[in-house]
Amino acid sequence: MSISRRQFGAGLGAGALILATAPGLRAQGSGKILKVLVGYAPGGAADVVARAVGEGLRASGYQVIVDNKPGAAGRLATEALLTLPADGTTLLFAPSGNLTIYPHIYKSIKYDPLKDLVPVASATGMSFGIAVGATSPAKTLQEYLALAKADPAKAAYGTPGAGTAMHFLGVMLARQAKVPLTHVPYKGGSAALTDAIGGNLPAVITTLPNLLPMHKAGKLRLLAISNPEPLASLPNVPTFGTAGFPELNVAELFGFFARGGTPAATVAQLNAAISAAIKTPAVVAALEKLEFEPRAMAPDELAKFIRTEHARWGEIVKATGYTPEE
């Protein structure tokens, strides 16, 4: 289970966001139609934030269609964008790791994120956490690692997909703890959360906003978070650093990206609208309530962040000896 649309709608107010799960669905009304491709299932972190910003874009005259294309850890949505015209009418909404980690993880990636995609605007910053089901005997990260080391059946951890920052966080944890953890990729975080809550999955690593509601409801137990500093809202949950793994300080951005070749004027117009949406009081309140940090960046600033993180992840992948897949 993840953040439900009903819970999310209460945070945004009465405005209804146009939803779509298939191409071709027409928005009603006279606003400019903007399709946003999300490479993860409805209800997950990426989907929730995309819909939040889509609601805020109404003020700039846009009617947003969120088109979920889960699969291949978000790459299906990226590939879909690259088949469309470079005119700014369709954007990709994705975690920055899709552009900064994937080139170092997959051998057969079909695009160059630094050349084929144009950063438009960031939306939020986010961190991650590892959690177990409420019935798990593990009360701490070290206890989970001890269980995993003793019993391979308890060494599995689920994430929203292979090659994501969450997958790699698990890879780094396994290497540093010297415990052979087993990665179980899902098509989005919602299904992984459901299996962890039901006791069918020993642990889950996903975005903190997706974990918090279930932790606070007593359905999951957060063992550690990837923030550099502890959170006041989680006084009894350590960072990975304080739990003994100081190198696992990992954070990402959610951002909007256009196809390469999109006119600079169009990118600037979209950035202005998205940045304004992120600053809308209702959107800010909804995102902060879910532990997302609203963060608006200009296209050049976002591009610099992507380049820097791309280089950083390349060094991390090389240092850990991770073998690229596919």
Strongest mean pLDDT among 99-113, 133-147, 188-202: 133-147
Structural domain range at position 93: 5-125+253-320
d(CA 307, CA 278): 23
Residue 138 lies in a domain: yes
Farthest-apart Cα atoms in the chain, separation = 61
Residue 242 lies in a domain: no
DSSP 138: -
Q: What is the CATH number of the domain that holds 262?
A: 3.40.190.150
d(CA 149, CA 79): 38
d(CA 201, CA 155): 9
Which pair of structure tokens corresponds to residue 240?
């990975």
Mean pLDDT along residues 163-175: 88
Which pair of structure tokens corresponds to residue 78?
């990226």
Q: What is the CATH number of the domain that holds 161?
A: 3.40.190.10
- For 9-70, give the DSSP string: HHHH-SPPPPEESSTTPPPPSSSEEEEEEESS-TTSHHHHHHHHHHHHGGGGTEEEEEEE--
Structural domain count, the chain: 2
Residue 36 lies in a domain: yes
* 303: phi then psi, degrees, rounded to nearest 5: -60, -40
* pLDDT score recorded for residue 326: 61
Reported as a single tens digit per residue, the pLDDT across 113-129 is 999 999 999 999 889 99
Residue 325 lies in a domain: no
Helices 264-278 and 45-56: angle between axes, nearest 10 degrees: 100
* pLDDT score recorded for residue 83: 96
Q: Do 161 and 72 share a structural domain? A: no
